[in-house]
Structure 1
Amino acid sequence: MAEQIEFDQAHHTLQEITEALENGRFVHVRRQLQDMEPEDIAHLLEASPRKARYVLWQLTDPEDYGEILEELNEDVKDALVSKMAPEKLAEATEGMDSDDVAYVLRSLPDDLSREVLAQMDAAERLRVETALSYPEDTAGGLMNTDVITIRGDVDVDVVLRYLRMKGQLPYATDSLYVIDAESKLIGYLPLSTLITTQPDIPVSEVMEDADEAINVDAKDSDVASLFERRNWVSAPVVDENQHLVGRITIDDVVDVIREDAEHSMMSMAGMNDDEDTFAPVFKSARKRSIWLGANVLAALTAASVSNMFEATLEQMAAIAVLMTIVPSMGGVAGNQTVALVIRGLALGHIGDSNKRELLLKEASIGLLNGILWALTIGAIVVVWKGEWLLGGIISAAMMTNLFIAGVAGVMIPILLKKMNIDPALAGGMALTTVTDVVGLSVFLGLATLFI
């Protein structure tokens, strides 16, 4: 209920600001933007047509640019920063975490990215260049270097005085990391332990062992799974020699989970998960045409099977009426399995040790559903058309196709993943092609033999 109220309020704000822009009430819009949170402004920008979006960006307080850029999807962010001068963009990134700055700069052309880096002070530039040196989809690409480190041989009182001197802790700090003389991670000190421990006790006596640090090369999806299972707020990141190089915070992990969810949903339709809702027509059409072309090939494959049995279709109109039922049921059943397997692969639940059991389970489900719906559809056809033989043929085809759908629904995502092809992108189309070809071939083939 609260979420619905929030969406309704956001829609009302969008409508009000759009009307104000159309009426030229720019001062009113500027005041409204000043009262809004950066994440709400980001939502407003993404929901606005392109012309209105650029006007809103100009009316937004430049001091909020950095936080807003962190929240925007890639297409919208690219469109806005492409119109900013390098020095303005460098100013916008001041105060942002190094990983967030790197995220912004990765989407820029190389020459513009270098110009923005040149505008930063030496310390900030080094931090950002370090973040840029790691692949975006790894722990190194996620982490930020804003970490508080302490030594194990000092007393708790020294740590407390050190923190008071700093004045402000980095975002989502729930622990301080203990390192040795070589900057190797040896433990961590939770803040809850720090404030409840006697001041004269050494840190080494109350710190926790750092036995679950994240390797800098770990995949971001694996990092997200660790945070989800361990309920972490933050976690240290180390290199191959156990040197502490940064930390990952929960806000970065939430972004990974959200992006993975959006990617899976959009990939099912062959869409880019970062596509701008109001992207230019020709740009969007070009992106989508590739997926449509692949679907045309799949459809032509199924059509060629029907063409092989053209004589059979001409002899009995009932076959033409019923021929779409078998591939349709197979496609629905198979895509249920594909969705289950893609989720299992993403969560790390499926591997070489259990994929055989999964295959047997889904094949059994396909067979059971195949028998159930074969009898149901067969009975309907007999009552409807009065053709016992036709009822038996569609029953056999239905049972076969649902069984194949269960097997293919498991094997296709696993094989695509081994081929480094995103199962969420290609799995559904490949499965539908298989069930269309098998369903039509079996149904029309049996009809040709027996009718």
Structure 2
Amino acid sequence: MQTEAELDSERERAGQALDSERVRAALDAIAAEDAARLSNVLEPLHAADVADLLEQISSNDRDALVRLWGRQIDGEILSELDESIREPLIESLPSEVLAEAIRELDSDDVVDLVEDLQEEQQTRILGALETIDRIGVESALSYPEFSAGRLMQRELVALPEDWTVGQAIDYVRTADDLPDQFYHVVLVSPAMKPVGYVALGRLLSSRRDHPLLDIIEDSYRTVTVTDPESDVAYLFNHYHLISTPVVDESGRLVGVITIDDAMAVLDEEHEEDLLRLAGVDEDSSLTDTVLRTTRGRAVWLFVNLLTAILASLVINAYAETIDQMVALAVLMPIVASMGGNAGTQTMTVAVRAIATRELTASNALRVSWREITVGAINGLLFGLIMAGVAAFWFGVPKLALVIAVAMVLTLIAAALGGILIPILLERLKIDPALASGPFVTTVTDVVGFFAFLGLASMLLL
């Protein structure tokens, strides 16, 4: 039961948010080594805001903050921190502070916190847990990475399938070991196999003598511990789930996954796709060192360099044509830029559709034809615009025809490459978000330069 002081503290915290003024106040308190003032700044903040502040300040200021306020850092703050900051912060916390922080967390948050740490730090954290909690976390860590077993929490409410509403309500009111938050009551057979679940709202609004089996939810689904977490997140998003039971290979109930964890997976996948499309390491962060950041970006910059060289070879093959008409060199970047942008648009749509399972083998042909048609229409539209610009600019009618036709061919190729390359990579079990960009760029550049310069050499010289 919360005291009035604790409730007042939560009410105060609810109205506070992290802003630049509060960050400056925290830095001033750190510079003055004033622990009391720093506590006044940080105490009203939500754990996520404290984590944001720790990520925004420099490593020296972070070390000073831990020295002044480290004993107030709890498990919720640790679970909100970026992994690159969390590990050194855990290393600097006193053992008793770390132990208390870890005990506050649900099992899924402990697993999320522990799984990416070094073995020595894992041992330190697991040693701070009660025996039964440690066994549960170690069991979760034995499942494959990025699986439902890693994502689930063991804290749940499971009741016999033959109970009534009244029995369930009485149990929920009197039990001492319920989770802090739960959305469903899972009904299980005598063999501990789930048969359905009941939403709390439905439970509380039903008559006491009503059997629980009569009010189970239609949305009921289960996942297996070895299912990929991406499949779990898709299930939540597709069927609008709030929570779902997790079973082992024999079908016995071992845990539950809630919507916050599923949405976190979706958010991570969206972020990874965005970074990969830009050729950036999916684990990159603003807190990474210069060396790590440079190394992570250099790989795909090198791939882009190779594709740029390939495009340059096409240009070099028509060097004499360019020498005889300088206007071609002026107009070439326009063709390449339009093709690149059109290819990126189609590729982004395709990669996202593959990730959300909207683009499948059954509709790939129809979607591809639609994109080709869009590319042809846009190519015709902007080809006519550029034909008018080229005719007005250089006064060469045939040059206007060349750039118009080249624009149509380039945008069709961009649409075709933007849709087919991600599909092909996905079939080859290669992440389309990671590898599509350089290949699509190569297709648009090579086709664009070849079409423009090839037509120019045939019609203008």
The TM-score normalised by the length of structure 2 is 0.89
State which drifts further: 226-235 or 350-359.
Answer: 226-235
8 Å contact 1:264–1:424 — kept in the other structure?
yes
8 Å contact 1:397–1:442 — kept in the other structure?
yes
8 Å contact 1:42–1:72 — kept in the other structure?
yes
- For 2:82, the equivalent position in structure 1 comes to 73
Equivalent residues in 2 for 1:105-116 (5 A)?
105-116=114-125
Asked if 1:220 is matched to 2:229, the reply is: yes
- For 1:329, the equivalent position in structure 2 comes to 338
8 Å contact 2:219–2:241 — kept in the other structure?
no
- For 2:175, the equivalent position in structure 1 comes to 166
- For 1:3, the equivalent position in structure 2 comes to none
The change in CA–CA distance for 1:320 and 1:205 in structure 2 (over 3 A counts) is: closer
The change in CA–CA distance for 1:57 and 1:258 in structure 2 (over 3 A counts) is: farther
8 Å contact 1:185–1:210 — kept in the other structure?
no
State which drifts further: 380-389 or 29-38.
Answer: 29-38
- For 1:144, the equivalent position in structure 2 comes to 153
State which drifts further: 45-54 or 99-108.
Answer: 45-54
Cα offset, 1:168, TM superposition: 6.5
The change in CA–CA distance for 1:365 and 1:133 in structure 2 (over 3 A counts) is: same
Distance 2:244 2:386 in 1: 56
8 Å contact 1:186–1:209 — kept in the other structure?
no
- The answer to which structure, 1 or 2, has the higher relative contact order (CA under 8 A, 6+ apart) is 1
- For 2:198, the equivalent position in structure 1 comes to 189
Asked if 1:276 is matched to 2:255, the reply is: no
Tell me which amino acid in the other structure corresponds to 1:219.
P
- For 1:350, the equivalent position in structure 2 comes to 359
Distance 2:284 2:71 in 1: 25
Structure 2 unaligned regions, length at least 5: 1-14
The change in CA–CA distance for 1:228 and 1:58 in structure 2 (over 3 A counts) is: farther
Asked if 1:250 is matched to 2:259, the reply is: yes
The change in CA–CA distance for 1:392 and 1:152 in structure 2 (over 3 A counts) is: same
- For 1:381, the equivalent position in structure 2 comes to 390
Render the CA deviation track for 1:285-323: whole Å, top value 9, x for unaligned: 222222222222222222222222222222221111111
Cα offset, 1:437, TM superposition: 1.2
- For 2:303, the equivalent position in structure 1 comes to 294
Please point out which of 56, 76, 90 is paired with 1:47. 56
8 Å contact 1:73–1:274 — kept in the other structure?
no
Residue-pair matches, total: 446
Distance 1:240 1:69 in 2: 32
Render the CA deviation track for 1:99-144: whole Å, top value 9, x for unaligned: 2111111111234323432342220111111221223322222111
- For 1:439, the equivalent position in structure 2 comes to 448
- For 1:231, the equivalent position in structure 2 comes to 240
Asked if 1:263 is matched to 2:272, the reply is: yes
Tell me which amino acid in the other structure corresponds to 1:30.
S
RMSD of the alignment, in Å? 2.4
Distance 1:419 1:390 in 2: 42
8 Å contact 1:224–1:253 — kept in the other structure?
yes
Structure 1 unaligned regions, length at least 5: 1-5
In structure 2, the residue corresponding to 1:236 is in which secondary structure? Answer: strand
In structure 1, the residue corresponding to 2:74 is in which secondary structure? Answer: helix
Distance 1:20 1:118 in 2: 34
Cα offset, 1:379, TM superposition: 1.7
- For 1:416, the equivalent position in structure 2 comes to 425
Cα offset, 1:269, TM superposition: 2.2
In structure 1, the residue corresponding to 2:103 is in which secondary structure? Answer: coil
- For 2:435, the equivalent position in structure 1 comes to 426
| Aligned residues with identical type, % of pairs | 35
Tell me which amino acid in the other structure corresponds to 1:374.
G
Cα offset, 1:8, TM superposition: 8.9
